[in-house]
Structure 1
Amino acid sequence: MKRQPFLNHEFLRLVALTQNTPSRITDLYFRISRTLKDTLNLMPTFTYLTALHIDMIIGENDGLPTEHLHLAFLEELHIMHVTWHSYRHDMNAFSALAETLSLPSLRRLLLTSQAVEDEMVFEPLLRKFGHSLHFVSLVRPHIINRYYPYDYRHPLPLIPLLSMCPNLRHLATDTRIPIRMPTHAHLTWIDLWVQRRFLDPSEQSAVTLMPHEEKVKLPSLRGVRLLDMSLFPFSGARTPLLIPPDMVGSTESVIWSYSSVDLRHDPGLLYRQKVNEVDDVLAESLEHRL
């Protein structure tokens, strides 16, 4: 008996969009579950798409894309990758994406996945598009949860990443502290997602986290900024783009006040000014139990 495809709500929404003035749509954000192949087959309808964000959950028995997909105007691709399968399965999925995607205008690539610890998983995408990229974000999603016993001692694969992105200007990632960097001629800004215990607003700068011998490797570097991880649920991996590091000068600061978050941008720091005391007590309690 032939297995029937599971058409979830997101896929049906996408089908509806293809039938209603798709040429006007420039930004798409949707969840992919079992329908990656079928979803990408609908993408050519969106002629002027410039930004695509997909939450990708692919099962081991789900079909992978095989048809060539050319998106002439796509400048930003964000993949939130949820995985509980084998390394080989993840590798096959990203290899299929690299083989089928043609993105001549791509400049910003955001990858949010626990698989970033295995740099080879994303190598196909970085190797194909790396030369054109100006902004790359690599974030492990479980670091967002402050109740998770995250180990900062595990470094991210920055050396192979930067070697495949020779024209990169802006890197946003989480990594161990103090940061260790490979040589790169054009990297201008580095944003580091960190837990609150690493934030020290009195210092007004995150450059102190990078030893002098590391800064020498980056002749174009203008600054290193710490991003408060508690901001991630509000603005996600696009935070460095929404609030760029050059928004404030060496003696400036900007303060925003919203009903859900008080935000402050100082030189080298972007953080929440106030954190709910109840949340802090709960977090400390859970940390002691772990």
Structure 2
Amino acid sequence: MPTVPVPIQCLPPEILNSIFQRTIPPTFLLDVSLYAGPHSPWFKATKIKKSIILVCRSWYTIGIRFLYEDIVLQRPHQIPAFVRTLDTSSLAQDFGYLVKSINICTYIPPEFSISFNKHLTRIMDNCPRLQQFNFSPPFKWPFTAPNPILSWSITSLSLNDSFPFAIVLRILGAAGGQLRHLGMHAPPSSVVSGTERLCYLPYLLSLQIYFRTWEGFSISFFVDVLCIPRIKHLTLRSVGQFEASFFLPILEKHGPKLCVLQLHTENCMDDVHNTDFEEHTDGQILLDLCPGLEHLVIESTRAMVGLSHPNIQWLDVWIPGDVTPSWRHRSEILAGFRACRGLREIHSVLMHLFDIATLLPPDMVATDLDTFEIAFPGACVRHGVGRLDLARRIDVDSWDVPTYDTDSGAILESDCTSDWVTKSDDGESEDDGAQSSVLSYQDSEASDSNSVKNLKEDEALPQQELESLLVSGNN
């Protein structure tokens, strides 16, 4: 029986949802940092989301979920604007109910610390389905805000070293009961020595520890203070080369429970012959402390020669793009891992996606017939047998790159929130012409810097004026 063509306006919501899912790249492929540039995959994905909701009402109903599912706040004034959007949403369109993850990667001036804490509390109150919270500004500052109250629904938490250690402890004490993933910096040795109270995280499965430097920081917090009985996945990240003796204590305590171990250094690709362990004996000691380990992710092949483990099934190794896929040491490496089912190479250009080794596990591709690509505008990752790399550059073709103009696009200031609708003092909606219910910003980099500069010149401004200045983004 022949089928009757259905107009696109009449497609069922389930079909539209499936189409949009295949149009928008997964979050783990997107770098939300500003230094990725205005034409990065994340900016392109956000523009796609904003375009979808402007097509028609039926597309808006489905597309708005994708727009608000992952919120990224890259400018200080976006925080109160987002709060205002949540406060003005109605029962028919509750934006807060759509939010599943929030990433705050903006600098918060000390003058706005009280306002920031108040806004953060309101965000948590209005997002009952929030599961992931990342606080990752690009640099450190003396954070002076009171203790932020996180939502009870959060299962994944990542904090950089901007928070004082005492506040981190209180956050973990309040939200740790339901955490499944935790990412944090190693605290300074001076603050850990006086900590007596245990921090109990009964359901934590994945722990990511970042070391900015090896000097002055302590691993004892994760050994003596943090109680994680169900830990299965441990990631150790550092700026420089790993010192095996430094993190030996954490593997002595948690190694028997680990199934996945990742050793990740941010500058490892400066030298093709970088090694994760100073000597092979150090590497063997670490492997012996993890008898149940099944998946090892490291950044060197030469250091693995001569090592052995009875249960490791998969080896992932980060390599520079100019290294020949067929290694001279491959057979020597596999000889020491009798249970190993495969050794996979991961292209170094994916280094900023340090979790991709576990998000795309090596057993997904067993034969050439299983090879697949995740292809979206600006991002195209190819997973073949024993190889995970780029099918093409993560960027657009040179003839397809438009000239960036902050006045016409304001990409950096609006992409995470789209075209929010605000209300004027008399209660009437102010619409910029877009058929959407989200707020659009047109202020420039200069206005942001001027507002902060003027604020520092007059620190006596009352809190209400500070909030108004923060929202306006200009002087």
Residues 253-264 of structure 1: pairs in structure 2 closer than 5 A: 253-264=371-382
Q: Which among 42, 55, 73 is matched to residue 203 of structure 2?
A: 73
Paired with 2:182 and 2:366, the residues of 1 have a C-alpha distance of: 31
Residue 247 of structure 1 pairs with residue 364 of structure 2: yes
Q: TM-score, normalised by structure 2?
A: 0.48
Give the deviation of 1:17 after TM superposition: 3.1
Q: Which residue of 2 aligns with 1:281?
A: none
Measured at CA, do residues 76 and 213 of structure 1 come closer, stay the same or move farther in structure 2, by a change above 3 Å? same
Paired with 2:144 and 2:312, the residues of 1 have a C-alpha distance of: 41
Say whether the 8 Å CA contact 1:41–1:69 is kept in structure 2.
Answer: no
Q: Aligned AA for 2:362?
A: P
Say whether the 8 Å CA contact 1:132–1:167 is kept in structure 2.
Answer: yes
Say whether the 8 Å CA contact 1:178–1:209 is kept in structure 2.
Answer: no
Measured at CA, do residues 181 and 36 of structure 1 come closer, stay the same or move farther in structure 2, by a change above 3 Å? farther
Q: Aligned AA for 1:225?
A: R
Unaligned stretches of 5+ in structure 1?
1-6, 201-205, 279-290
Paired with 1:245 and 1:32, the residues of 2 have a C-alpha distance of: 32
Residue 307 of structure 2 aligns to a residue in which SS? coil
Say whether the 8 Å CA contact 1:171–1:190 is kept in structure 2.
Answer: yes
Say whether the 8 Å CA contact 1:226–1:270 is kept in structure 2.
Answer: yes
Give the deviation of 1:29 after TM superposition: 1.3
Unaligned stretches of 5+ in structure 2?
1-112, 117-134, 136-142, 397-475
Q: Aligned AA for 1:32?
A: D
Q: Which residue of 2 aligns with 1:171?
A: 296
What is the identity percentage for the equivalent residue pairs of Structure 1 and Structure 2? 21
Q: Which residue of 2 aligns with 1:16?
A: 148
Measured at CA, do residues 37 and 115 of structure 1 come closer, stay the same or move farther in structure 2, by a change above 3 Å? farther
Measured at CA, do residues 178 and 17 of structure 1 come closer, stay the same or move farther in structure 2, by a change above 3 Å? same
RMSD of Structure 2 on Structure 1 (CA): 2.9
Please give the per-residue CA displacement for 1:91-116, whole angstroms capped at 9, x wherever unaligned: xx102321111111100000111455
Residue 178 of structure 2 aligns to a residue in which SS? coil
Paired with 2:362 and 2:388, the residues of 1 have a C-alpha distance of: 9
Q: Which among 112, 117, 121 is matched to residue 237 of structure 2?
A: 112
| Structure 1 consecutive aligned stretches of length 4 or more whose deviation exceeds 3 Å | 7-15, 57-66, 176-179, 208-214
Q: Which among 225, 241, 244 is matched to residue 344 of structure 2?
A: 225
Paired with 1:226 and 1:25, the residues of 2 have a C-alpha distance of: 33
Residue 39 of structure 1 pairs with residue 164 of structure 2: no
Measured at CA, do residues 25 and 151 of structure 1 come closer, stay the same or move farther in structure 2, by a change above 3 Å? same
Paired with 2:182 and 2:287, the residues of 1 have a C-alpha distance of: 23
Question: Greater strand percent: which structure?
Answer: 1
Say whether the 8 Å CA contact 1:108–1:136 is kept in structure 2.
Answer: yes
Q: Aligned AA for 1:239?
A: I
RCO (CA 8 Å, sep 6+): is it higher in 1 or 2? Answer: 2
Aligned residues: 252
Q: Which among 52, 66, 78 is matched to residue 182 of structure 2?
A: 52
Residues 1-290 of structure 1: pairs in structure 2 closer than 5 A: 15-18=147-150, 21-22=151-152, 24-33=153-162, 35-46=164-175, 47-54=177-184, 56=185, 58=187, 62=191, 65-83=195-213, 86=215, 89-90=216-217, 93-114=218-239, 117-143=242-268, 149-150=270-271, 152-156=273-277, 157-177=282-302, 179-200=304-325, 209-233=328-352, 235=353, 237-251=354-368, 252-275=370-393
Q: Aligned AA for 1:250?
A: T
